Amino acid sequence: MKQLVYNSVKCLECNEVLVSRTVHDYVTCGCPNDAMADGGNDYGRYGAMDMDKIETHYVYADDDFEIVRKHAARGSRGIDGKDPLTWIPIAYLDDDHLQAVLDYGGVDWHLDLIRKEIEYRSSFLHQKLDKMENQLVEDPIVRTVIDKFQQRSQVGINKYGTMLDRKDLTTLEWLNHLQEELMDATLYIERLKQELSNITFK
C-alpha cells in the first residue's frame, strides 16, 4: 500500500482547500456544500453534499521528490514548544530543524523523507558548485585573467625567490608596497590620458 504524505480536498463551491494532517483530523469547509477530508496520512476519505463540486489531491511518498518535499509536512510548535501548531513542508525546514527531527525520531517513512531531503540538499549544493566551477573554466575572459595571475605570480617567484605568503614583511611594509604599486598605476593612467589627448579624431 502506497504511503500518503498529503491528503487534501478542494471545495469548488467556496474554493477552500482542506488538508487532513492526522488519522482523526476531520476537516470541513463549512459552506453549504459541506466538503470534508479525513484520514491524514493513513487513508484518504472525502465527501460533500455535491461530489461534483470537490477535487481531491493526494501526494504519495514515491511520487517525484520535487513534489513530495513541498507537500510532506512536519508539525511544529516552535523551538520552546509553546507556539500554535503549524505544519511546515520539509522543503522549508532549515537544516538544524531537519537534524532535530532525526534526533527526536518518528515513523519510519517520515524519517526516510527527512534523510532524503538532507541528501537532496547536499546533492543540489554540489551541483551548483560544479556548475559555478565549470562556468569559470569555460568563460574565456575569466580563463585569460586566471592565466595572467598565474604568470604574474611566477614572475614574482623567479625575481624574489618567495611567494605572497612570506612572513618577513610587516603590515606597514606591505602597505608601502601597495601604495607604490598604486602610485605607479596612477602614473600609467596619466601617461595614457596625455597620449589620448594628442590624438586627432576625424
Mean pLDDT of 23-32: 95
Question: Does residue 46 sit in helix, strand or coil?
Answer: strand
The confidence score (pLDDT) of residue 114 equals: 95
- Structure pTM? 0.61
Which amino acid, one-letter code, is at 7? N
Taking the CA atoms of residue 8, residue 10, residue 11 and residue 17 in that order, the dihedral angle to the nearest 10 degrees is 80
Please say whether the beta carbons of 8 and 56 come within 8 A.
yes
pLDDT tens-digit readout, 148-183: 888 887 777 766 667 777 777 788 888 988 898 899
pLDDT band at 81 (very low <50, low <70, confident <90, very high): confident
pLDDT band at 200 (very low <50, low <70, confident <90, very high): low
Q: What is residue 92's DSSP assignment?
A: G
